[in-house]
A = this chain, B = another copy of it.
Amino acid sequence: MNGAESLVHTLLQAGIDTVFANPGTSEMHFVAALDRIPGIRCILCLDETIVTGAADAYYRMTGKPAATLLHCGPGLANGVANLHNARRARSGVVNIVGDQATYHRPLDAPLTSDVEGIATPVSAFIHRATSAATVGADTAAAIAAARGFPGRVATLILPADTAWEDGGVVVAPLAHDGPEAVAEESIEQAAALLRNGKPTMLLVGGQALGEVPMRMAWSITRQTGAKLLAERSPARLARGRGRVPVERVPYPIDQGHAAFTGVEQLILVNTPPPVSFFAYPGKRGELQPEGCEIFILSTPEQDGATALAVLAQLLGAPEVPPADPGPRPECPQGKVTPEGVAQTLAAVMPEQSIIIDEAISFGRGFYPGTRAAPPHDWLMLVGGAIGEGIPLAVGAAVGAPGRRVIALQADGSAMYSLSGLWTQARERLDVTTIIISNRKYAILLGELAGVGANPGRTALDMMDLTNPSLDWVQLAGGMGVEAARAETLEQLGELLTASVARPGPFLIELLV
């Protein structure tokens, strides 16, 4: 058994059966091993940013890491932006990065690079294999690191000769760490704060945004009068009819501050303290009011879900059904507005849809407007590195077959990773992409105003995506994804209804 084969068997023994791949020469033996050993689904992506973004979403939907297959340092580098996002989402990912053979590396051939250096900013675990005999053990260690709680990015560098040489040994799965328990004393302190009558807010993130812990948070806040808020960009949030309605920390800094106005005690559950996305001249970066007490019920490394259950019990908070969001809306008509798009989504999305939200500025109304939709999951861009929407849709569809993925995608951001559409076509993934085609970097126009800069011709040109306008129907068609354009809400409603009723990908270019 060669090193590559021991790697594949070790992955399979740990239940890792999905590889997102953009391979090159140094990974050829790994690819050959995937051939000989059945059981792994290998998904080809045409750019590494698709590979890593897909792995991020796959973890969010399955709770299990996928492996990635990347070619040398530059291939890894192409995937770093979405590994940054995965790291912020606390997604487990096992990167396999092929590299020059151990004895070839000192010759400094052109593709030789500082792979460890490229991996370091985004990886919690980095290891370079040194021989075929230890590749199995290295793989098991990488998997254990990625599978710990919360998930981590683990990067295993595989010199070509450690893959092709004989002597591979399959290694059984290693134990990995689960969430750290929250001390009972902390839960009691939180209960005391919630009972002391001061204006209090529960800010919830990460694992605690699941359906069950959010019911606990809902009970607690109904019982005590505390406010409930979710972090700005959740990795995954269970919502829709029957789920707890919760707003998120707003992106614009002034609205961000306003969301915390009057709060004197802020209890954090699996989320760091709230800060603005960027700094703006003369404005505070911390979002909670000055003097507000921050109490950490659970860090992102801890079991906030259980802590919320215990806290609800301590407070004697009975389970309360979430407020009725009102009737499910019908498809609206007329001019395209954020509210109208949200209403269309709420009217059409099938039960258990997975919404990928990289709609950026135009899409801020989509979230509040879809409360009355059937139960669904909402996945966001956690790390703020734009261009992850299309890859997230790939990974979510692979990780949750049978569920419709609806990707709400700003046009500017979509351009970083549009080749993911090809993978959607190739794998016949059930993804409907709605390109919000405003033909500008609308967010930057807001940001330019936000920092007090006064835009002239050059600045406006830097935010303008016309001249030429992107034609998304052609772009999708060029990658084998059927597409159509919508200029009204009724057209959007018709196209969305048709697309969710049939398998495979579809793209709607929504002119706004």
Give me the interface of A with B, judged by CB distance under 8 Å. 21, 23-26, 28-29, 31-32, 34-36, 42, 44, 46-47, 49, 72-75, 77-78, 80-81, 84-85, 88, 100-101, 103-104, 107-111, 113-114, 117-118, 120-122, 160-161, 164, 232-233, 272, 275-279, 281, 285-286, 382-385, 387, 412, 415-416, 418-419, 422, 425-426, 443-444, 447-448, 450-459, 461-462, 465, 467-475, 477-480
Distance in Å: Cβ of A506 to nearest Cβ of chain B: 14
Q: Is the CB of A457 within 8 A of B35?
A: yes
Contacts A110-B382, A275-B107, A479-B475 given; does A415 touch B447 at CB 8 Å? no
Residues of B within 8 A of A458 (CB): 31, 34-35, 42
In Å, the complex CA distance between A107 and B447 comes to 19
Q: Is the CB of A416 within 8 A of B47?
A: yes
Q: Is the CB of A74 within 8 A of B81?
A: yes
9 A–B contacts, CB within 8 A, in A order? A24-B444, A31-B458, A32-B448, A32-B456, A74-B84, A77-B121, A468-B480, A470-B480, A475-B475
From B120, B382, B451, give the contact of A160 (CB < 8 A): B451
Q: Is the CB of B383 within 8 A of A110?
A: yes
Q: Is the CB of B103 within 8 A of A278?
A: no
Residues of B within 8 A of A73 (CB): 84, 121
- Nearest 6 pairs between A and B by C-beta? A468-B480, A74-B385, A475-B478, A474-B478, A104-B279, A101-B279
Residues of B within 8 A of A108 (CB): 272, 275
Number of copies: 2
From B25, B121, B233, B453, give the contact of A118 (CB < 8 A): B121
Q: Is the CB of A78 within 8 A of B104?
A: no
In Å, the complex CA distance between A474 and B470 comes to 11
In Å, the complex CA distance between A260 and B475 comes to 46
From B36, B100, B383, give the contact of A74 (CB < 8 A): B383
Q: Is the CB of A384 within 8 A of B111?
A: yes
